[in-house]
Amino acid sequence: MAKRRKSSRKRKSTIKLPLSVIITLIIIVAIIAGVWAYMHPTEAKYYVQTWTEQYLGWPTRPTQPTQPIPTTEGSDNLAFGIPGPADCIIDREGYALGYIERHEQPAWVIYHMTKAEATTKAASRDDNFREDPEITTGSATLADYRRSGYDRGHLAPAADMSFSIKTMDESFYLSNMSPQLGEFNRGIWKDLEAQVRSFAISEGDIYVATGPIFPSETEPKAIGPNKVTVPKAFYKVIWDRTVPEKMIGFILPHEGSSKSLKSFAVTVDRVEAETGLDFFNVLPEEQQAALEGTLTVSAWQWQ
């Protein structure tokens, strides 16, 4: 009877590390991760938030303000509701904003503008761009925009805030900025800002909501040490409160354009669908539905 041939394969040996070595390796990895997180705080916060939300199902970003909203006495910017959740909400004399730490800019800025304010020039532009001390997590900085190839694009325009020295000055906080291509900021966006001021003068009493539309990618294009997200588009919503009331929305792709502003007009419902925000949500639902679902371009006075 033939002998069974022994297998030439050797059994793989299992390496067993002493517990002390395993603990040492864990400590070394933890130190390296800690140093990296210290050197890259924004990226570390983003990855921790994403991992815990996607894999553990724990919400890490606040869905409501975590502290009382700082409000300027007499301000009515948020009188008709907060458009959406934010990490920090601030209501100033000239405008209110909802700041998103992950993107280092607001998801929304909203302000009330009258004909008197639109035609009052009490302050000239001072270009005093600076960090916002009221953003508890720290706002974007000048270094984020320096040599980035992007303008510090106003959301609440300086020209809309020229009715007082204080409102003009506060419009230059970097919390009121979003990265914008020069041909966009100084072109179609500037034209839309001028048109909105014209609406304030012709209608007499309007509310304006404006902000970026962020890309859907997990890691969108960003600039600067704080990774300020570059938006894919921008929106504006205007509510004319004079009788007969009406609303109009705009969605502008983040690029230069020579098209007519009217070609970018959309319903407010469309803006809400694109942004996930809910504008003027204190209004009765029937009134919201009528105003936000209707668009009559010819009802507005165009420049």
Distance CA 52, CA 104 (A): 20
Distance CA 277, CA 176 (A): 18
Residues 204-235: tens digit of each pLDDT: 999 999 999 999 988 899 999 999 999 999 99
**CATH code of residue 165:** 3.40.570.10
SS3 296: coil
Same domain, 175 and 104: yes
Q: Is residue 265 part of a domain?
A: yes
Same domain, 244 and 108: yes
Same domain, 141 and 275: yes
Instruction: State how many domains the chain has.
Output: 2
Sole residue written with tokens 């859907």: 216
Q: Is residue 61 part of a domain?
A: no
Residues 130-150: tens digit of each pLDDT: 999 999 999 999 999 999 999
Distance CA 200, CA 205 (A): 6
**pTM (two decimals):** 0.77
Same domain, 35 and 116: no
Same domain, 118 and 250: yes
One of 103, 112, 154, 254 is an active-site residue; which one? 154
pLDDT of 44 reads 52
pLDDT of 64 reads 40
Distance CA 303, CA 29 (A): 62
Contact by Cβ (8 Å): 194, 226:
no
Provide the residue range defining the domain that includes 253.
88-299
Region of 103 please: left (phi>0), alpha (psi -120 to 50) or beta.
Answer: alpha
Q: Which helix (H) or strand (E) holds 27?
A: helix 19-39
Same domain, 167 and 49: no
Instruction: Please state, for a pLDDT cut of 90, what percent of the chain lies above it.
Output: 73
What does the pLDDT average to over 248-272?
A: 98
Same domain, 232 and 280: yes
Q: Which helix (H) or strand (E) holds 265?
A: strand 265-266
Residues 17-36: tens digit of each pLDDT: 788 888 888 888 888 877 66
Q: Is residue 281 part of a domain?
A: yes
* 103 catalytic per annotation: no
